[in-house]
Chain A
Amino acid sequence: MTMMENLENINPKLYKKVEDRQITAAEKDEDIVDAFDEREVFDIIRNINDPEHPLTLEELHVVEENLIKVNDAENTIDVKFTPTIPHCSMATIIGLTIRVQLLRALPPRFKVSVQITPGTHASEESLNKQLADKERVAAALENSHIVEVINQCVSDIKY
């Protein structure tokens, strides 16, 4: 994986960030079990940096809260992400980065699925298949160059 010399998407559309989450008294209370919800998962991935722009995935509308589905009881989390352009060659690395960030932040009981928002990428089907293949994801995460790119995308994330 090499970084592009020329930006693929020179002038991406920018979106406003959401307000910080208001923490309720119940959430501060350690004795109350609070299940993971969409907003919590969104907060984990919204500040991931785009691999080619000094912008977050939230600001580029690559990730959105309403494209996340969480079922805490059934241990499933489904995240859809929207590449900025339909031929984005960064889509695999973005999907992988979202996956890694969630794997690192969430308890291992969760089954995480990361997929392209339907109809937003030319190679949607093959990218989804790659991202769902845990063996190929595991092999990619043993590749030091890929891990370096991912770590750059998730560095200086503020929660």
Chain B
Amino acid sequence: MKSYITMGSLELIQTLSGHSGRVWNVCWHPKGTYLASCGEDAIIRIWKETNSDWITTMLLTQGHTRTIREIAWSPCGNYIASASFDATTSIWDGRSGVFECNATLEGHEYEVKSVSWSSNGQLLATCSRDKTVWIWEAKDNEYECASIINAHTHDVKKIRWHPNKDILASASYDNTVKIYEEYLLDSDWTCSHTLASHQSTVWSLSFDKTGERIVTVSEDKTVKIWQEYKAGNTIGISVTNNESVWKCVCTLSGYHTRAIYDVDWCKITGLIVTACGDNMIRIFKEDSDSHMHEPSFSMVCSMNNAHTQDVNSVQWNPTIAGQLASASDDGLVKIWLYNEQNA
């Protein structure tokens, strides 16, 4: 253990109960003022801090007939998209102050596993157990399918847009991560890169704030960091056709004892948080002497029994540094604050 690592602690702010059955996902409003959660009970709960107490301010019901696997707040904060095992994605419009389901996106053959808005809110991506990734264009509350991509060979688990470009990444049961871009020549979406290194299902991924690095987590109990090398890079990584390449530059193994279900790379602090099937939440920080091409990360916090069952989802608050939310099979949502200790 290096001596200059500053360990931190995770302080439980509040436990939020209300869902019946497992909670699959939590998502912060872009301003960090609201939190949405969803799960097995097919209900979306919206939580707000009122007099330093987190309470349910809205319940979104009757949008889905089966489990809601994931929710995503649009970058403007006016809409919520929800991905369900009922094979549909619903769009909830909250501009009036009350959320109403005003569109249902159909087309996937089986369960929709994940949904994500592009940084400008004009594109929406969904993925499913039917192995496909769909890209939807959002215009005046109308959603049109722009592309159906068949690149994975199995169940697609997670989909995430680049923090500021129209570049998409997906993680799959086929153990790979794929990157998609739109080719201007024929304006068609194509898989441009396949990131292969994990030995089992890749459950989740997250871009860093630059979008040039991705962190991935897997059933194989490891965390991997991937770096993009653009054409003409100075360290001599060869690229063909002027396209960039993605390389796995770091693997964190030996920390997690079961499958890792979620990961989030904080855009403010650069901290990485993981949600694990061993009921724990862990936080990783890049070392001060870390090298870009061979980065090193240290675990700065591990919370034993963060929940009493599998942790399914973790997400950093986008505006309050160190605040994060987690969701678990134990039916609870928890709000935490990471404090760096000044020893």
Chain A residues with CB under 8 Å of chain B are: 108-109, 111, 129, 132-136, 138-139, 142
Contact = CB atoms under 8 A, between A and B. Distances in A.
Contacts of B258: 111
A123 to B, nearest CB: 14
B41 interface: no
Nearest to A76: B258
Interface in B113-166: 113, 129, 155, 157
A82 to B, nearest CB: 23
B111 A139 contact: yes
8 contacts: A108-B308, A129-B173, A129-B200, A132-B259, A133-B155, A134-B310, A142-B66, A142-B67
Nearest to B310: A134
Given A111-B258, A129-B200, A129-B201, A139 B309 contact: no
B336 interface: no
Q: Is the interface of B mostly helix, strand, loop or mixed?
A: loop
A135 B308 contact: no
A48 to B, nearest CB: 24
B330 interface: yes
Nearest to B111: A139
Contact of B67 (A109, A133, A138): A138
B26 to A, nearest CB: 16
- Closest A-B pairs by Cβ, 7 of them: A139-B111, A139-B85, A142-B66, A108-B309, A142-B85, A142-B67, A109-B308
Nearest to A75: B279
A115 to B, nearest CB: 14
B40 A138 contact: yes
Contacts of A108: 308-309, 329-330
Given A109-B308, A132-B259, 17 more contacts: A108-B309, A108-B329, A111-B258, A129-B200, A132-B219, A133-B219, A134-B310, A135-B69, A136-B129, A138-B40, A138-B67, A138-B85, A139-B67, A139-B110, A139-B111, A139-B129, A142-B67
Interface string B242-266: 0000000000000000110000000
B277 interface: yes
A137 to B, nearest CB: 12
A109 B157 contact: no
A155 to B, nearest CB: 24
A135 B157 contact: yes
Contacts of A136: 129, 155
Contacts of B201: 129, 133
Contacts of A135: 69, 113, 157
B22 to A, nearest CB: 8
A129 B259 CA distance: 12
